[in-house]
Chains A and B, each alone.
Chain A
Amino acid sequence: MLQPHSFLWHYLWLAPHVLQVVLAVFLWRRGLHRLFPVFFAYTLFEAVEEFTLYGMDVHPSVSGESWWFAFCVGLVLEGAFKLGVIGELFLHLLGPRTALAKVGSRLISGAGAFLMLLAVLSAAYVRMDHPKYIWSYRAHILLQSFYMIECGLVLFLFLFVAYFKLGWNNRTFGIALGLGILSCEHLGAWAVTASGILVDKQYLLDFLNMATYHLCVLIWFYYLLLPQKSVTTSAVPLPEHNLALWNQELERLLHQ
């Protein structure tokens, strides 16, 4: 069952992207593509990319080198889309909170620059397997580098929100959670692949990657299509006691 080109393998490769097309249709019909335009574009792009790669994989006339070249091109575009999605999430979080907009932008820019430097250094450190597999080698290095940056930025996003106790709505949270799980798992898997530790059992990591992607698409489905809970202000009463005394004290302080 856990073999390349088994039924499960085909299912895990195609099913998440079929679901992504369905998700894109729902996003469009509910007008959410205007709220998350980059995520919407990413969802469509990812589906088209994977259908193309799948078609190339099963077509006998496509050489391995051509497939890996197409994979690398798709990877670069996909990486740009994912960075765009992280930027979009950050904008959603900081948009109404003007007090943090400037410092937040600076911090995420700094974190991005640091992660990029780290990714370049790690890429330089990875050894090359064999000149014959130059394209797969390049793809693995690219994947490792992209997921280092992506994973770091999503982690930064979660820590930033947790530190400042920001509230995020279900949709933003769902996209971030899916992206977070995806990037962490993929970082680990591609780091192992790039190191050449599991050369003979590479397909097991492929299964893991595909299953994780499937899970993340289901998370996006759940959070994006779940009806938003309405917040009631009366449910959260303000801290109270001695307003008059406090007011008196405050005014005294302000007029000092």
Chain B
Amino acid sequence: MNLAIVLVIAAVLALATILSVAVSRSLQAKANAILAPTVCPIDVEAFRNLINPAEDDYLRCRLPPGQFRVVRRERLRAMAAYVHVAASNAAVLVRVGEAALAAGDPRIAEAAHELVNDALLLRRNATVALARIYLALAWPNSGFAAVRVVDRYERLSGTAMLLGRLQNPAASVRLSAPR
């Protein structure tokens, strides 16, 4: 009896999730046809500075342990905010790349394919990085590196730019914030 109730509730929740994903898919398809995708520029240099282990070591030497933990947590929160934006940008670029995949021009299709793969890798890495950041928030003294996210983001920027050039040589694309 109890098991049946649990399974019925699980089935209802699963059905609601599937239907909501299906509805959001059709809404998203309509929105994509109307709205131009927007990416939020990221100051990669500031992010690189945040994740620099040498900076952490310097702070660890200079600050008392309690204060270091407070500062480290603040830095980790800032890091998480950056990674969130990078992941959102990657999601936008997945959609843009997938829309361009059907292009008749093989050069555009190839660039779009590369962009989609890079964006998916970034999104995957961002997920792992976020998990590590939240783990590090619980243990601020532990080591942490999100360098792969930065590297991937830079590569993604290059691919998006190439696709942008191929699709529309007059238009411009920006993923990183100007200095």
Contact = CB atoms under 8 A, between A and B. Distances in A.
Contact of A99 (B3, B91, B118, B158): B118
Interface string A212-256: 000000000000000000111101111111111111011001100
Given A184-B18, A236-B95, A246-B172, 5 more contacts: A99-B116, A158-B17, A184-B15, A188-B7, A188-B8
Interface of B is mostly: helix
B73 interface: no
Contacts of B116: 96-97, 99
Given A192-B8, A246-B178, A240 B171 contact: yes
B102 A230 contact: yes
Interface stretch (A27-35, A62-70, A161-169): A161-169
A165 to B, nearest CB: 4
B107 interface: no
A103 B124 contact: yes
A148 interface: yes
Interface in B136-179: 154, 157-158, 160-161, 163-165, 167-168, 171-176, 178-179
Nearest to A147: B11
Determine the interface band of chain A, counting residues with CB < 8 A from chain B.
Answer: 35 or more
20 contacts: A96-B116, A151-B10, A163-B127, A164-B94, A164-B123, A167-B99, A173-B25, A181-B19, A188-B12, A233-B99, A233-B102, A233-B108, A236-B100, A237-B36, A238-B160, A240-B172, A243-B164, A249-B176, A250-B158, A254-B158
A243 B161 contact: yes
B174 A246 contact: yes
A140 to B, nearest CB: 11
B20 to A, nearest CB: 9
A159 B21 CA distance: 8
Nearest to A152: B14
Contact of A246 (B4, B10, B175): B175
Interface stretch (B38-46, B50-58, B63-71, B74-82): B38-46
A126 interface: yes
Given A184-B11, A188-B12, A197 B4 contact: yes
Which of A161, A236, A238 lies at the interface centre, i.e. has the most chain B CB atoms within 10 A of its CB?
A: A238
Contacts of B94: 164-167
A245 B164 CA distance: 15
A246 B173 contact: yes
A184 B14 contact: yes
B96 interface: yes
A22 to B, nearest CB: 24
Contacts of A246: 157, 161, 172-176, 178
Contacts of B161: 243, 246-247, 250
Given A185-B11, A188-B12, A249-B178, A239 B3 contact: no
B117 A97 contact: yes
B11 A187 contact: yes
Contact of B39 (A194, A239, A249): A239
